[in-house]
Every structure is written in C-alpha cells, then in structure tokens.
Amino acid sequence: MIGPEGEQLGVVGIRRAIDLAVENELDLVEISPTAKPPVCRIMDFSKYKYDQEKKERRIKKNQHVVHLKQIRLKPHIGEGDYQVKLRQIIGFLEKKDKVKVNMFYRGREMMHQELGREILERVLKDTAMYGTPEKAPAMEGKVLYVVLIPTAVKMLKERNENDAEIENE
C-alpha cells in the first residue's frame, strides 16, 4: 500500500487500508490488481481524474492534423497568377499542411513539357524556406506534380517548444 504522501506503508489488510483512507478523507484506489499482493494507493481520485483530463486536453490542443492541399498550375501562367498561387502554397506550408503542386498540360502543351518543369522548379526554389519536396517531380499522365512537406527544422523546433510547455505545467 502507498500512503497519501507517496510513502510506502507495506502490506496492509483491506480493512486497515479502508480505515486509513477514511481517516485521511481520501479514496482507496487499486493501482495494480495483478500484482501479488495487489497494490493500492490512498489519493483524491476525483482530483487525479481531473488532472488526467486536463493533461489530455492540453496534448490534444497541441496536435495538428496534416492535410494535403492541392494547387493547380498551367505552363503559361502569368506573373500575377503565379504570385497568388505562391502565396497560397506558402500559407499552407506555414499551417503545416502538405501541398501537392500539379502542373496540367493540355493538348500541344505536352510537346513543351520543359516550360512546365521550369515553373515547377521556380516554385520549389521560391518555397525552399517553407517546405521541401517529398520526392522529385513526377509525371502522371498529363500532370507533372510534386508534393511539398513543411520544413522539418521548423516543425521540430515547435514540437520541442510544445513538449517543454507540457512538462512545465
């Protein structure tokens, strides 16, 4: 048995354990029922349960579900349109979402795939600070695509900061 202050009380009979819990106005909680003999602890169970729920809420608040966002480009994109798409990609990467950049070719544009590759390379260069390609650009049918993932350095730094906050509380 473990006392209310965390001290070892040794092997105690069930009647004596219940009496000790009542004396301290706390609960007798069975911690390890499979041990020989079973291990019990005198504690405020409602406070323990509240602390556990609070810890779970804090962990859940710091979680982020990664979504895959898609951006469509064409080989003959204008500069203004390119800048708008670039801002969208950077915004998604800053929110820690993956971004799939699709370069669509229509008809005779397939004859000049290098134009699309140049634009995709420019996107990769312009977003290098925010994200890295998961793998090299790949062609699938009439679509050249690349998947960008948020930069790992920033994510690791933020994860370490979140872990430090949880440990401090």
The CATH number for 14-50, chosen from 2.40.50.140, 3.40.640.10, 1.10.287.3240, 3.10.20.80, is 3.10.20.80
Q: How far is CA 111 from CA 28, 75, 107, 137, in A?
A: 78, 11, 8, 18
Statement: residue 153 has pLDDT above 70:
no
Strand-pair category, 39-43 with 27-32: antiparallel
Mean pLDDT, residues 29-33: 88
Tens-digit pLDDT profile for residues 121-144:
999 999 999 999 988 889 999 999
**Greater model confidence, 164 or 137:** 137
**Band (162; pLDDT cuts 50, 70, 90):** low
pLDDT of residue 169: 57
Sign of CA dihedral 80, 86, 91, 97: positive
Q: Does domain 68-156 have CATH number 3.30.110.10?
A: yes
- Residue linked to tokens 């820690």: 96
Contact 119, 144 (CB under 8 A): no
Tens-digit pLDDT profile for residues 35-45:
888 899 999 99
Parse the chain into domains and list their residue ranges: 14-50, 68-156
Q: What is the DSSP string of 35-78?
A: SSSPEEEEE-HHHHHHHHHHHHHHHHHT-----EEEEEE-TT--
